[in-house]
Structure formats: C-alpha cells, structure tokens
Chain A
C-alpha cells in the first residue's frame, strides 16, 4: 500500500471526470431531478417525508454503482490496467485511488442532493441535517465500492450495465421501502439483514424520524463502512497481474 500512488491515481480519475462535463452534470443533477419528481408526485401527502430520505440514499448509490463499474471496466478493456499492474502500482492502491476519487464525487453529490431535498423540496428532517449528508456520502461510497467489485466480474460493457439490475434491484426490493423489513417472509428478512442497502435505508429513516438518532445511525453506518471495506478488499482480489 502506498499513499502517494493512491492519491495520484485518485487525482488522475478526477482529472478524467473533469474532462467529461456531461458526466459530472448527470451525477449531480439526476438525483435532484428524481427527488424533485418524487416530491411533486406526492405533494400534499406525508409520503415524501417518509420516502424522500431513504431514496436520497438509494439514488446516489445507484448512480455511483453504474459510473464506477463502467469506469473500471474501461480501464480493464483499454489495457491501461494491465499496464499499470506491470508498474509498482499495488492492487490496493488502485482500488483505494478509485474509491477516493469517487468519494470526493460522493461528497459533492450528497451535498447537492441533500440540500435540494431539504431546502427546495422541504423534506422534514427530525435529526441533524449533517447526519443525512454523512449517510448519503456513505451510501454513494457503498455504490462505488460495490461497482468496483462488480466490474471485476464483467467482461464487456453489456455485462457491466446489467450488473446494475442484478446487484442493485434485489437490494432495492428488500431494503424495507416497499414492505417494512420486519414484515418480510423469514428467509427474505434474513437476506435483507445481510444486504448493505437495508442499512443505508434504515439510517436515512432514523435521521428523518428521530430527534437524536446518533446511536442508531452509528450502528448502521458501521455496517455500511464494513461493506465498503469488504467490497474494496474483494475487488482488489479480482485484479490479476497475470491473465490467460
């Protein structure tokens, strides 16, 4: 592990993103548009206050998952990854570099989306707003880390894009938004206890409904961070210096 190589890799990924204005705009605008739509659909009902915050966690998660998995797949297919792995670059440096770069984007995205939800759409938040931002950042990071891991199993862009429904939609169905998790059939409840998006959604719910959510949020956040770390470790194991 080497801090310098991690940081220059993150800087390089960010420089690539900076050259692509449309992608940055999409990353920042799409979650806002979705949240705005949601607020509009459910205007004059309490639904937006119930669903707004959880979806504030889900949208950045999905966006980051797709962007990260395509970005790393591009690195594999263009030959730059193979080349980097003939240099002193460590697999962990590579993974952390990507996580760091998309972490920066996650902070930006979370600030914009949360600000929009709270101040423009009038989302009611019982707990502190900064905790909402922190959880949104963690959710976006989770999306990036899972995207990095998923791209290890994709050989083509077609596969990578389909990992979104494959990895993400089952978690969305089981995360407690459609049916509260304790009302799920036993087997599905157990599965939802394992999946990381459940904790992302739980944390968002707690912050919006409880005035002092600190402890519960910390517990959920710990699970999310655990998943981020595990995905990055597993993801770096999918990198092979030698291939057939």
Chain B
C-alpha cells in the first residue's frame, strides 16, 4: 500500500508566458479526500492538470500512484473530471457513461451503478444537453466513476449544485475514500473544507497551508476555513513586508 497517491516536487508551470505555479512541492496521502482550496486563479486547475498529466510542465516532478504523471499505465487508474462538464451534450447520460465504460474496459453493470451513484437514475435516458448545469456535471462525474479508478481527480465538482446534492456528493466522496480510493477535489467554496480529510490551501500557485481543518483552525485561531485562509494570507503579507 502506497502512502502517497500524489508526490509533487519543485513543480513549475508557465502558461501563456505567465508563471502560474512558481515551485510547488506537496504530498497527497492515499485513501483520503484531500481538498484543494483557493480563490479562482490560484492555480488549482493547473495543478490538477499536472496531476492527470495533460499539463506541459516547465520543471519539477509529479508522481502519481508511484509513476510519473501521464504514464500510459496510469490511464486505467485515474478518473479525471474537468471543471466544465466534458460530456457529449447530444448523447443521453447512459450513452455517455456507456461510452467511457467501453473505453476504460469497465463491465456493463458498472454503467447503471455509476449513474445511480450520482443520483441521475431518473434522467439516464435524457440527452445531457437538456439537463441543468448541476446534472451535467454529475453526468461528467459518472463517466469518471464508471472506470472504478484508484485516484479520482475532480476539478470543482460541486459548482452549481444545491445544498442537498452537494452533501450527497461529499458523502459519496467519503464512501469512496473509505473503500481505499484517493480523491483530490478542488473547490473555491471554503465551507466544503469541513468535508475533507485534509486541506491544501493554494494562493498564487503556492501552498499556503497543508493540514487538517482542526490543525488549521488551531494554528490560526479562526473559527472556519475561510477565516483561517484569510488569517494565513494576512500573515504571509506581513512577513513579506
């Protein structure tokens, strides 16, 4: 059993001439839900793209499940959900999930299971394009779940969902982690921090904190994740002065 699902050392990413991640080192422990939190533009999506191996990196090493990110052998083992739902709008939910199941070599029975896991059973035969934003992002999630990946990398999976669905999805993430899977979930909604086993606070491409929520609250004296985040920013800016 690996201790870390993801190991990143000295990662530097330049996008469009701008350094998005100047030099980042971090560990994502296996078997946990790790929340990647930070304001928009903080480099969350870039970091996630580096982990799934679709980002050109300028320097540093990214190892995922013991192998270099982007290795062909990892393609069966990682589930990636992009920020905007990447599914086929003109196909039904079931046709989308079935297609990804075929590509990943997953059994047919897993299709309905994945659809049920994201609570889209009643919309399985609707074209994705006719669904609401939240339903579309859940359809996209089902396409990743269907391959039964060891590591799930989810970029803002709960955007636009109502509180009940958000709770249900976080419950699902917790169950997946309890089964031994690793999850890296980004969000800019700070109150979702409470649902994560561990938090990575990102700001301007740098890790501001890498801790559990209780640790973070204790260290900053704040009462919630948002307060802790602001306290850490204030401290960092004071130190810079």
Residues of A within 8 A of B (CB): 4-5, 8-9, 12, 15-16, 19-20, 78-80, 82-89, 241-244
Q: How many B residues have CB within 8 A of the partner chain?
A: 31
B19 at interface by CB-CB < 8 Å: no
Q: Does B90 contact A (CB under 8 A)?
A: yes
Instruction: Give B133 Cβ to nearest chain A Cβ, in Å.
Output: 14
B212 at the interface (CB under 8 A from A): no
Task: Enumerate 5 A-B pairs (CB-CB under 8 Å) in ascending A order.
Answer: A5-B102, A8-B99, A83-B80, A244-B55, A244-B56
Instruction: Check A241–B53 contact: CB distance below 8 A.
Output: yes
Contact A86 B54 (CB under 8 A): yes
6 further interface pairs, Cβ-Cβ under 8 Å (given A83-B143, A86-B53): A16-B91, A20-B90, A80-B86, A83-B80, A83-B86, A87-B100
Q: Which of A5, A9, A12, A83 contacts B82 (CB 8 A)?
A: A83
Structural contact, A86 and B99, CB atoms closer than 8 A: no
A98 to B90, CA, bound (A): 16
Is A19 a contact partner of B127 (Cβ separation < 8 A)?
yes
Q: Footprint of A on B, CB under 8 Å? A: 15-16, 52-56, 70, 72, 75-76, 78, 80, 82, 84, 86-91, 95, 99-100, 102-105, 127, 143, 147
Q: Which residues of A contact B102 (CB under 8 A)?
A: 4-5, 8
Nearest CB of B to A194, in Å: 34
Nearest chain A CB to B235's CB is how many angstroms away? 33
What residues on A are CB-neighbors of B87 within 8 Å? 80
Q: What separation, in Å, do the CA atoms of A74 and B80 have in the docked complex?
A: 19
CB-based contact A82/B88 at 8 Å: no
CA distance A13 to B52 in the complex (A): 25
* Inter-chain contacts of B99 with A (CB < 8 A): 8-9, 12
